[in-house]
Amino acid sequence: MSTSLNPSNPTPTPRTRVVREPQRAVYDREAVNQILDEAFLCHVGFVVPGQPDAQPFVIPTSYGRVGDTLYIHGSAASRMLRNLDKGVPVCITVTLLDGLVLARSIFNHSMNYRSVVILGTATLVADPAEKLAALRALSEHIIPGRWDDSRQPNERELQQTSVLRVPIAEFSAKVRVGPAEDNEEDYSFPTWAGVIPLEMTAATPIEDTRLDPGQEVPEYAKHYSRKR
């Protein structure tokens, strides 16, 4: 784990200050950006205004980061985007799972992980140039190099797509690394303990059944990796 994940800029807000296991808190923006840039998906939590039961929703979606701004997108008809562009407060979370931690006691089993929480308000991107740049950032976040190899969105597709920006201004991260932490009296218990590391790896690309003859697998697909 990079040492840059140690807190170096402890400026959380009351809403983002980590209360449980505060020693795992990370408030450094560079470390948070590293997590955001490696992960694929975020989960967007919000409450639809005007509902009598105040039912919360949490929707998984892809995202892209440009500087201190997070962009999310989807169908202009989706419930999430139709409500978020009204200024509804959002909570966005991202998690990377790095390992399963097996302790000697069930109570002390854990996981090694890196997670980010961002609080804020989403704003609809109306400027066409920013919208296109945001969509490019979303594409490049998932598969760098693919945007230039693909057909660009046409006017109809752009009209059917909404893009929202969320400032990465109120945020915190939480990180667990290292071995199991057993109670002292459990270290003599006769069972295996340790960490099962986990990572995402890409398999061999599978060609589309209607691929034109002579089209070779691009390098970004052949050697795909989430490591940054």
Q: According to the model, what pLDDT value does residue 10 have?
A: 53
The lowest-confidence range among 6-10, 77-81, 84-88, 152-156 is 6-10
Q: Is the pLDDT of residue 119 over 80?
A: yes
DSSP alpha helix (H) spans, 98-216 = 128-142, 146-149, 155-159
CATH architecture of 3-222: Roll (2.30)
- What's the pLDDT band for 228 if we cut at 50, 70, 90? low
**Residue 68 carries which DSSP code?**
T
Mean pLDDT of 131-158: 95
153: pLDDT strictly greater than 80: yes
Q: Residue 222 has what pLDDT?
A: 94
Going by pLDDT thresholds of 50, 70 and 90, the confidence category of residue 34 is very high
pLDDT tens digit string along 189-219?
999 999 999 999 999 999 999 999 999 999 9
Spatial CA neighbour of 74 closest among 42, 121, 37: 42
pTM reported for the whole predicted model = 0.88
The yes-or-no verdict on residue 7 having pLDDT over 80 is no
Residues 6+ apart with CB under 8 A from 185: none
**pLDDT over 70 (residue 226):** yes
